[in-house]
Amino acid sequence: MSAEPTDWRDAVRKIAWRIGLDDYPTGSLAALRRLRPEAPDGAAFWWLVAEHAPRAFEDDRASEALAAVVQGMAIAHPFHRPLSGRGGVGEAMAEAGVSEARLLRLLRLSRSELPEELRRLARLMAAKGDEGRFDWSDAFALLFWADGERVRRDIARDYYRKLYNLQKVEEHAA
């Protein structure tokens, strides 16, 4: 086991970059969409882990969290990577006009229920096109870190801050 800590945020971003390349095989992308996060299998997923997050081989919680996130990115492809300056899931949900009820459902689910909700969110955000792009490392953090409350609070803060700023811009324009 390596003594080097893993920068999971960086690993998630590198995986998003890799599956976004033009030469990424469409068959692998399809396999990632069918991935079962609770029991990840298949070469497409494990090659990404080997290349960008090898510590996940030794950590079941990390591999399951990565599997759910990679599946979501594959579903949202080609809108799975944030545009320059775009933040996390909370900010993107506000910008894309996703309801507060949808945000609260995401934030209140247990860790075991999150993979299914992330699949739904990936489909919804992909349908929004460029407005639905976000950094998937927030989703990884929701699934991985034991203290999910801080992550949930950060996502909510980002959502409401962005929503407030959007409403201020609308009021100013009116």
What is the domain range of residue 46? 8-173
Confidence (pLDDT) at 3:
47
The DSSP string of 38-85 is TS--SHHHHHHHHHH-GGGGG-HHHHHHHHHHHHHHHHHTTS-SPPTT
Note the residue count of the chain.
174
In a domain, 2, yes or no: no
Does residue 100 sit within a domain?
A: yes
Q: How many domains, in total, are found in the chain?
A: 1
Tell how many helices (H) and how many strands (E) occur in the chain.
9, 0
Any domain includes 91: yes
Averaged over successive runs of 10 residues, the pLDDT of the chain (174 residues) comes to: 71 95 96 95 95 95 96 95 80 95 95 94 95 92 86 96 90 71
Residue 146: helix, strand or coil by DSSP?
coil
What pLDDT, on a 0 to 100 scale, did the predictor assign at position 83? 74
Which tokens is 173 given?
A: 């324009």
Q: Write the CATH number for 97.
A: 1.10.520.40
Give the pLDDT score at 129. 92
Q: How far apart are the first and last CA of the chain?
A: 59
Per-residue pLDDT, 18: 96
Asked if the structure places residue 13 within a domain, the reply is yes
